[in-house]
Amino acid sequence: MPRTPAHRSRVGSAALAAAAALLLGLAPAPAAQAGADGEKAAPTLHELADRTGRYFGSAVDNPELADTEYANLLGSEFGQTTAGNSMKWDATEPRRGEFDFTQGDEIVNYAQSKGLSVRGHTLLWHQQLPDWLTSGNWTADELRSLLKNHITNVVTHYKGKVVHWDVANEIMNEDGTYRENIFYKTIGPSYVADALRWARAADPDVKLYLNDYNVEAVGAKSDAYYTLIKRLKADGVPVDGFGMQAHLALQNGFPNQLRQNIQRFADLGIDVAITELDIRMILPSDTAKLARQADWYGQVTRACLAVERCVGITTWGYSDRHSWIPGTFPGEGAALPWDENLRHKPAYDAISAALSAAAKKEDRQH
């Protein structure tokens, strides 16, 4: 998941985006609005996904809600949202035992006003932890107590308000070994099962996920999660889903066997979600890069649609106007299906086409 502060950089300039839009003939964004002659509005991405029994969503961060045009389009085009930063530990428990849900509640209230479901993100992660926690010299029992208290309080507060929780985020290294975060180094690998059990005790109805990046392809890291989830299930630990973040980059190649990888996790008896999708490129963008990006967005969408237990797709933001990419990967960007002016890019059309084909197939079957 993005390792970034709440205030994020923007891609390029509005002037460049406008020029690119004219050059590439990009379509205007408000697909949900009726045409001038009152013809039926084009269905939104979520409406199409919903016809297949899935959701299509976008993450949002609190400062973005102040961008009224952006927030309104988010609320009309999507059916789900994820709180980008405001439910992380540094935001929810900035001081030991003192909880602050102000920002998270703002996201939830916005989502409820727009009819969006909410994904809780995240109960434990090795980043964005408060100083009081990372600077402490805790025993294993002390840290277990702190972790249990944090999870119990946060999950209880949002009980009935979120449908999924990313319980443990980014707990594996690229080679499939455990990341040596504060929890692993102090408690050992049992902290993962403990966290899932505590979350289940606090909200028996919410779906509990493990979530990570670079797990879309079959490889050492996804294999490690497959083995872990299989073992957790065998031990009766409550794990309901696996989140594949899908922060992809054109220069790194498309993840091999994505659909097959989604399927093998589904075959463990859990749900799978694409949780943080974006597809960045080395700037400047051009027609060829945008076409390749569109192809990849279509491939990811079709891979999810091909697996019954792939429950939905969330992009990490939806417009290049508000993207974490340029601030984290200098010289890269243009990662999302809408440009800075909230106009559709070819990626939007590819997603819409994939969803529309699946929705029509679903309609024919019923």
Active-site annotation, residues? 170, 276
Q: Phi/psi at 57 (nearest 5 deg)?
A: -135, 180
- Among all chains, which residue has been given the structure tokens 């009152």? 38
DSSP 8-state class, residue 27: P
Contact 308, 265 (CB under 8 A): no
* Residue positions counted in the chain: 366
DSSP 8-state class, residue 245: -
Contact 342, 70 (CB under 8 A): yes
Q: Give me the long-range contacts of 345-349 (CB less than 8 A, separation at least 24).
A: 345/24, 345/26, 345/290, 345/293, 345/294, 346/24, 346/26, 346/290, 346/291, 346/293, 346/294, 347/279, 347/290, 347/293, 347/294, 347/297, 348/27, 348/45, 349/27, 349/294
Contact 309, 362 (CB under 8 A): no
Contact 276, 316 (CB under 8 A): yes
- Among all chains, which residue has been given the structure tokens 């102090």? 186
266 Rama sector, left if φ>0, alpha if ψ -120 to 50, beta otherwise: alpha
Q: Which amino acid is at 28?
A: P
Name beta bridge partners: 28. none
> Residue 359: CA atoms inside 13 Å, Cβ hemisphere, count?
19
3-state class (DSSP) for residue 325: helix
3-state class (DSSP) for residue 57: strand
> Residue 182: CA atoms inside 13 Å, Cβ hemisphere, count?
21
Name beta bridge partners: 95. 98
Instruction: Give the list of residues 6+ apart from residue 89 with CB closer than 8 angstroms, or none.
Output: 123, 124, 125, 128, 129, 130, 133, 150
